[in-house]
């Protein structure tokens, strides 16, 4: 799930308070921190606009001395956050030249370099990369601006900037095309944005945290190009995490993993490998893809309808809800609030057994002869099999028994 856990939430609040404390002291010379900063000859006004990874590393001993217990591990987390911020594709280009982790080059920038960069308004790394204008967009290239030596007439500084560009190589984002407006914003370091927008750092911390923990559906692009239904990603991610953490028989965990990765052997795939004579479903006479075999074909359609009726019967007093959510709860095994963990465990087994059987049936020769009686008998059979499977694994199977009774009556 994407929400912040208590320790992460606490750090996000601490980060906001730490940065705003520094900002406040930079604006008010009479605060205690301002006096301490002055005593230590630390010019916070000059430091804040380009505050980043190196600022923390260089001054961490002083910052730690302001906090009881040296701030615990918060300053370590803070340096990690700034490192991530400078590596995040959306904020990479706003990394300040002199104080980002990329500035750890063999010959460090000095005060003189800093003044030149300030005068020529070269503050972020976006300002020293070569760019190309494409229509109304700006493309950044992973090499130094060719005309930079016309603006900065200091060979030693140009050499340092070339080294810095070199050091960004592995972090240079793939997505480097921006609108003109965004490209202009990239010339302003986030530290400078922070002077006007108090919460910008904690906002980026939350965004980085969400990106780090988000679970992308595998084979998403091929699903989009095949025009397949894609469920709510957050709900799916939560459901998959739940399934993989439950005591589901390994064979079926592997099955759902293969389904998500789109590596199950459908009749269509077997045909492509020349292992069957036809790629058509013998019942429906259309291409028997994995989705067809698991969900759209005649047998799964029959079984899923019964199961949706059963779910609405036991969970919704027969009011229709799951009947409209077949792709979610069945094809993608998604978790719904009405399910208890035990219910979801039993239901997931039943669905995975049914999907596994449906896929096998789709390639069997006698599938063409199947009628409603076979569908009914097979639904009972695979449900009884699920009951046995659950029983042998020492799990409850009462819900599957209820389902068998439901479809038998």
User: What does the binding site for Zn ion look like in residue numbers (CB under 5 A)?
Assistant: 281, 283-284, 297
- For Zn ion, give the closer residue by CB, 38 or 226: 226
For residue 264, the number of C-alpha atoms closer than 13 Å in the C-beta half-sphere is 29
Q: Which residue lies nearer to Zn ion by CB, 66 or 280?
A: 280
For residue 317, the tally of other CB atoms under 10 A from its CB is: 7
Q: How far is the CB of 287 from Zn ion (least distance, A)?
A: 9
How far is residue 342's CA from residue 395's CA, in Å, rounded to a whole number?
9
Of 86 and 291, the one with the shorter C-beta distance to Zn ion is 291
Q: Which is nearer to Zn ion, 229 or 251 (CB)?
A: 229
- DSSP conformation letters of 98-149: TTSGGG--SS---HHHHHHHHHTT--BGGGGEEEEEETTEEEEEEEE-TTHH
CB of 229 to Zn ion, least distance (A): 17
Q: How far is CA 372 from CA 369, 375, 376, 378, 379, in A?
A: 10, 5, 6, 10, 10
User: In whole angstroms, how far apart are CA 346 and each of 121, 267, 399, 401?
Assistant: 63, 28, 7, 10
**Residue 283: CB minimum distance to Zn ion, A:** 4
In angstroms, the CA 158 to CA 127 distance is: 13
Q: Whose Cβ is closer to Zn ion: residue 151's or residue 284's?
A: 284
Q: Give the whole-angstrom CA distance, residue 186 versus residue 357.
A: 54
The Cα 340–Cα 353 span in angstroms is 20
Min. distance of Cβ 378 from Zn ion in angstroms? 14
The conformation of residue 329, written as its DSSP 8-state character, comes to I
Longest pairwise C-alpha distance within the chain = 90
Shortest Cβ 1–Zn ion spacing (Å): 37
351 Cβ contact list (under 8 Å, min separation 6):
307, 329, 330, 333
Q: How far apart are CA 151 and CA 132, in angstroms?
A: 18
End-to-end CA distance of the chain: 40
Closer CB to Zn ion, residue 328 or residue 362?
362
Contact 391, 346 (CB under 8 A): no
Least distance in angstroms from the C-beta of 298 to Zn ion: 6
Q: Which is nearer to Zn ion, 83 or 296 (CB)?
A: 296
Which of 264, 297 has the CB closer to Zn ion? 297
Shortest distance, position 279 Cβ to Zn ion, whole Å: 12
Q: Which is nearer to Zn ion, 188 or 281 (CB)?
A: 281
For 335, residues 6+ apart whose C-beta sits below 8 A from its C-beta are 235, 238, 239, 242, 344
| Cα dist from 40 to 54, 65, 283, 402, whole Å | 18, 12, 82, 75
Residues 6+ apart with CB under 8 A from 88: 204, 207, 208, 211
Work out how close the CB of 257 gets to Zn ion at its nearest, in angstroms, rounded to a whole number: 24
Residue whose CB is less far from Zn ion, 297 or 382: 297
In the complex, the smallest distance separating the C-beta of residue 278 from Zn ion, rounded to whole angstroms, is 12
User: What does the alpha-carbon distance between residue 402 and residue 290 come to, in Å, rounded to a whole number?
Assistant: 29
Nearer to Zn ion, 151 or 270 (CB): 270
Give the nearest distance from C-beta 284 to Zn ion in angstroms: 3
Query: To the nearest whole angstrom, how small is the minimum distance from the Cβ of residue 281 to Zn ion?
Result: 3
């Amino acid at each position: 799930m994407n929400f912040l856990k208590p320790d992460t939430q606490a750090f996000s609040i601490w980060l906001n308070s730490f940065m705003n404390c520094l900002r406040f002291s930079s604006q008010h010379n009479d605060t205690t921190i301002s006096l301490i900063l002055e005593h230590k000859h630390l010019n916070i006004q000059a430091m804040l606009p380009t505050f980043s990874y190196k600022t923390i590393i260089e001054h961490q001993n002083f910052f730690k001395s302001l906090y009881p217990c040296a701030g615990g591990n918060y300053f370590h987390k803070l340096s990690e956050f700034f490192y991530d911020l400078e590596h995040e594709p959306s904020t990479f280009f706003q990394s300040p030249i002199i104080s980002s982790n990329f500035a750890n080059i063999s010959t460090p920038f000095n005060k003189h370099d800093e003044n030149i960069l300030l005068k020529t308004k070269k503050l972020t790394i976006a300002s020293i990369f070569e760019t190309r204008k494409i229509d109304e967009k700006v493309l950044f290239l992973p090499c130094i601006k060719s005309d930079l030596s016309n603006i900065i007439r200091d060979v030693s500084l140009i050499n340092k900037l070339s080294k810095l560009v070199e050091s960004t190589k592995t972090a240079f984002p793939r997505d480097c095309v921006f609108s003109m407006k965004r490209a202009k914003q990239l010339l302003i370091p986030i530290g400078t944005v922070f002077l006007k927008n108090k919460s910008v750092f904690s906002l980026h911390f939350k965004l980085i945290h969400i990106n780090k923990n988000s679970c992308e559906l595998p084979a998403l692009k091929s699903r989009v190009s095949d025009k397949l239904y894609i469920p709510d990603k957050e709900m799916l991610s939560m459901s998959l995490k739940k399934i993989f953490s439950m005591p589901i028989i390994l064979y079926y965990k592997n099955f759902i993993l293969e389904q998500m990765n789109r590596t199950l052997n459908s009749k269509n795939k077997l045909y492509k490998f020349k292992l069957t004579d036809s790629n058509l479903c013998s019942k429906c006479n259309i291409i028997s893809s994995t989705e067809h075999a698991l969900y759209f074909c005649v047998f799964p359609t029959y079984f899923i309808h019964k199961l949706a009726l059963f779910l609405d019967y036991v969970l919704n007093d027969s009011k229709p809800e799951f009947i409209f959510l077949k792709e979610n709860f069945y094809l993608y095994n998604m978790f719904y609030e009405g399910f208890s963990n035990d219910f979801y465990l039993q239901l997931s087994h039943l669905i995975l057994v049914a999907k596994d059987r449906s896929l096998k049936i789709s390639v069997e020769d006698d599938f063409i002869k199947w009628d409603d009686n076979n569908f009914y008998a097979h639904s009972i059979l695979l449900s009884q099999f699920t009951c046995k499977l659950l029983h042998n694994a020492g799990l409850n199977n009462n819900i599957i028994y209820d389902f068998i009774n439901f479809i038998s009556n």
